[in-house]
Structure 1
Amino acid sequence: MSHIKDDAPSGQTLPEDRKGPHTRRLRLVTVIATFGGLLFGYDTGVINGALPYMQADLGLTALTEGLVTSSLLLGAALGAVLGGRLSDRRGRRRTILALAVIFLAGTLGCTLAPDTTVMVISRFVLGLAVGGASVTVPTYLAEVSPAERRGRLVTQNELMIVTGQLLAFTFNAIIGNAFGESGGVWRWMLVLATLPAVVLWFGMLVMPESPRWLAARERFGDALSVLKEVRSARRAEAELAEVRQLALEDRQAKTGGWSDLATPWIRRLVLTGAGIAIVQQITGVNSIMYYGTQILTDAGFSANGALTANIANGVISVLATFVGIWLLGRVNRRSMLIAGQIGTTSALLLIGLFSLLLPEGTGRAFVVLTLTVTFLAFQQGSISPVTWLMLSEIFPLKLRGFGFGLSALVLWLTNFAVGLLFPLLVEAIHISGTFFLFAALGVGAITFVARFVPETRGRSLETLEKELRTRYTGQVTA
């Protein structure tokens, strides 16, 4: 029988996880949990088409437009930290159940908002759920997945995020083109997000808790029972032995909170995680995801034409994520991150140049659309899936929710800055100058990844923890 090589210094091996009934159970767990990603994608993408209709109904200015867009992102920053801490204390499954309720409440608040103030508050509440899901769902998937399939399974969440965005763009175009002259048409765009929130809540009621979270609470019998649901019997027992050892080491070291940042190797991991988060956002990807319709209108499309053309951005995001999932099993994470950054930076530079040099009209419109599609191919095919996967991998077991939460806090604050400032930057330095700025930031991102980001592919979470501890302390762990 073949074995999965464990690169830990102890030289242990894990038996191969052969297919069986547990494989279908693992697939079901992945599908249900990633409805959190679908909601993440829909709620961040729907504003793209809804915003132009809100401008008239709510009387938005450039500033309040930025506030409506970015209030969700500010909520997500707080939700990421709270979600990470809550999932460490109460469990990944319970946290996802709570997030489903917040998704539903926030969506209904946005749908029924009578004015800008209520909309901003409701978007902030919705952001709490988005941020919590951005941390808890990848962590849950990473901890329930076998090492050799972790990249593909965790990245299913990224696939659901971009699928949610594609659904948002598609429904925006259908509703906008069919009922665009009706008042309050944006409310119908928003309310559709209640459906996956209900599916997520009912689905998670019958899903298991993370076996690694159970082990961290020394509930080893429960952890083994869950592992046997999603692994072959021999693999479950071998994996539990590895998890048990590290869980006991972590408990003795009292890891899991702010005090751990005083430990140099943990502090460096958290800073690296924060850097990875910033790298994902300073490409300016969410300027396209939130304001894509306006970008295409500025390039020369009509209002309805921009809504329809924007679907291409959603389609390429989904297709590119499939490619990214395939690549993650074959290419090192760090190499994918660098290649993606080179691609996005080049596309941003070209968008800026053509927006500056070409006259407004159909020609410029289709050139900009082609380049935004190219940009998203690199972003969603490499940068985004690698970001969420690496952030779910690099932190120690007891610190995973906390460390991921801090990194996601930085990610969402950077996202908030992009969402708030983009319309103001376009107003001040035009679309070309704004994209030149993103391109310059991309050069800095490439440098950071090349110098500081570790490789995580092909290791179990427990082996990776030992390797990173050794790398940053110089001490070999047994």
Structure 2
Amino acid sequence: MGKSEVDIKNSKMKKITIIATFGGLLFGFDTGVINGALPYMSLSNQLDLSPATEGLVSSSLVFGAAFGAIAGGRLSDALGRKKMIMVLAIIFFFATLGCGLAPNVSSMVAFRLILGLAVGGASVIVPTFLSEMSSKEKRGRMVTQNELMIVSGQLMAYVINGILGNLVDNPGIWRIMLLVATIPAIILWFGMLRVPESPRWHASKSKYWPAYTILRTLRDEKTAAEEIKEIKTVIDKEKLIKEKSKNEFTKPWVRKILFIGIGLGVVQQITGVNSIMYYGTEILRNAGFGTKAALIGNIANGVISVLATFVGIWLLGKIGRRTMLLTGQIGIVFTLILLSIFPIFLAGTPILPFVILLLTVTFLAFQQGCVSPVTWLMLSEIFPMKIRGVGMGASVFFCWITNFLVSLSFPVLLGHFGLASTFTVFVVLNILAIVFVKKVLPETKDKSLEEIEEHFKSAKKNNKIVSEKLIEEAK
């Protein structure tokens, strides 16, 4: 195969990656844009939001996302990855229009809930589509690009919010902030028209010739033929596994893994990361910045999230998962302690808003550089193949639900108790999270998936032996 043909195939893969990750960009933008829109929505001549309705408007998207993540995976299995991403693009477009034109709180909550279904669907379907389109050598890089597009989408939202908030002196500017997301939704829909369906999905429907035809446009013929054989072997194994997996959850060691997976999803959210990603502008305003200055300052949160994600990806190859997660959590607890102390000692001083901004940036460096990358990687590693689908689904669902509870309660806590007391709550939660990680989380770096599974099985056997010895001694 000539070099020019290799370049053509590589170019096709790049195009597929860029187009599909617009789903990740929309995920990031729609979760981040509310950050700068809330101060304007809350005005009495706009939606007149109270702290409770602020939390409801923000968290309704996250609640929808929990169910979108569950339904999205199943629908994409039935209808196809490409078709479902195009459906998501339509939902993104019309739900965004609904949010931007919402006349009152109830309609805003309803459209944010629908928008959440698309966000949750994108969180599952886009990475799946990318992993199935890519070769095994490039899979990690392609799927990671979606994570980068999510944080880039949040950064884009913060930048656009900052520009619009400072250039346009109109309290209704929040509507334009929200409506900007219709543009990437249009690009995603038209872009997906030119992208092939996942060959892995075709193969799952026993359509091996279409799968092979698509693979030939992306790989050389020999590689495409070998990959189809591998896919068929895996699909046959999965069918057997599905039949045998029904009774897996009766085993204590399997239930323990499920408990750890759900715990990891919860731990990632009780750090309070999304209180900053969704309410960063409100936090900075509460600390003493004006609305326009807070919108500009909040851009720093987006920048550090993107940079820390790059660092986190690099660190994963250098440091143990457990060590990296604990380091991130300890850094977060230390930062949260400072966030709960400085608002008391520096209250009313001009330096307080700048100190709070520095601490939120530091917090995000630990979160996006250590905690988030490890969470998603370990969730993909700890579940045996027999329960991977159910285990991941349950963990992601609880992750979104915890996100919902945090984002719903944060503005209420902030409004009633102030910055110091609100962050003290997160200090307590994260100390409990550190205890959880130290007590139950194994190290998975440099271990095969089979070795990880054997670790949990052997731990169960060892516990049984210890219990039997104690019973004997008691007799």
Alignment TM-score > 0.5, same fold: yes
Report the alpha carbon displacement of residue 361 of structure 1 after superposing the two structures with TM: 2.7
2:124 paired residue number? 135
1:15 paired residue number? none
1:84 paired residue number? 73
1:27 paired residue number? 14
1:61 paired residue number? 50
- Conserved? CA contact 2:89–2:185, under 8 Å: yes
Q: Distance in 2 between matches of 1:92 and 1:454?
A: 34
What is the Cα-based RMSD across aligned positions, in Å?
Answer: 2.9
* Counterpart check, 1:365 vs 2:353: yes
Q: Distance in 1 between matches of 2:113 and 2:188?
A: 20
2:99 paired residue number? 110
Report the alpha carbon displacement of residue 396 of structure 1 after superposing the two structures with TM: 6.4
- Conserved? CA contact 1:88–1:402, under 8 Å: no
Which of residues 16, 27, 42 in structure 2 aligns to 1:40? Answer: 27
- Conserved? CA contact 2:64–2:116, under 8 Å: yes
Report the alpha carbon displacement of residue 473 of structure 1 after superposing the two structures with TM: 4.7
- Conserved? CA contact 1:48–1:289, under 8 Å: yes
* Counterpart check, 1:284 vs 2:272: yes
2:86 paired residue number? 97
* Range with greater deviation from structure 2 (288-297 or 446-455): 446-455
Aligned pair in 2 of structure 1 residues 330, 340: CA closer, same or farther (>3 Å)? Answer: same
Q: Deviations over 1:261-297 (max 9, x none)?
A: 5566665544333222112111101111111111111
Name the count of aligned residue pairs: 452
Report the alpha carbon displacement of residue 451 of structure 1 after superposing the two structures with TM: 4.5
- Conserved? CA contact 1:265–1:473, under 8 Å: yes
* Counterpart check, 1:168 vs 2:157: yes
Aligned pair in 2 of structure 1 residues 419, 38: CA closer, same or farther (>3 Å)? Answer: same
- Conserved? CA contact 1:147–1:458, under 8 Å: no
Structure 1 residues not aligned, in runs of 5+: 1-18
Alignment of 1:53-452 (within 5 A): 53-56=40-43, 57-180=46-169, 182-231=170-219, 233-254=221-242, 261-262=249-250, 267-392=255-380, 402-452=390-440
- Paired-residue identity, %: 53
Q: Which residue type is aligned with residue 122 of structure 2? A: A
- Conserved? CA contact 2:26–2:150, under 8 Å: yes
Report the alpha carbon displacement of residue 185 of structure 1 after superposing the two structures with TM: 1.2
Q: Distance in 1 between matches of 2:416 and 2:317?
A: 44
Report the alpha carbon displacement of residue 74 of structure 1 after superposing the two structures with TM: 0.9
Q: Which residue type is aligned with residue 105 of structure 1? A: F
SS across alignment from 1:58: coil
- Conserved? CA contact 1:26–1:230, under 8 Å: yes
- Conserved? CA contact 1:151–1:329, under 8 Å: no
Q: Distance in 1 between matches of 2:14 and 2:386?
A: 26
Aligned pair in 2 of structure 1 residues 400, 339: CA closer, same or farther (>3 Å)? Answer: same
Q: Distance in 1 between matches of 2:245 and 2:307?
A: 38
- Conserved? CA contact 2:33–2:178, under 8 Å: yes
* Range with greater deviation from structure 2 (297-306 or 114-123): 297-306
- Conserved? CA contact 2:158–2:295, under 8 Å: yes
Q: Distance in 2 between matches of 1:261 and 1:455?
A: 23
TM-score, normalised relative to structure 1:
0.85
SS across alignment from 1:201: helix
Report the alpha carbon displacement of residue 249 of structure 1 after superposing the two structures with TM: 1.9
TM-score, normalised relative to structure 2:
0.86
Q: Which residue type is aligned with residue 410 of structure 1? A: F
By relative contact order (CA 8 Å, sep 6+), the higher-ranking structure is 1
Q: Distance in 2 between matches of 1:400 and 1:135?
A: 14
Q: Which residue type is aligned with residue 194 of structure 2? A: V
Report the alpha carbon displacement of residue 101 of structure 1 after superposing the two structures with TM: 1.1
Aligned pair in 2 of structure 1 residues 256, 26: CA closer, same or farther (>3 Å)? Answer: farther
Q: Distance in 2 between matches of 1:441 and 1:121?
A: 31
Q: Deviations over 1:98-157 (max 9, x none)?
A: 111111111011011011110010110001111111122222233334444433322211
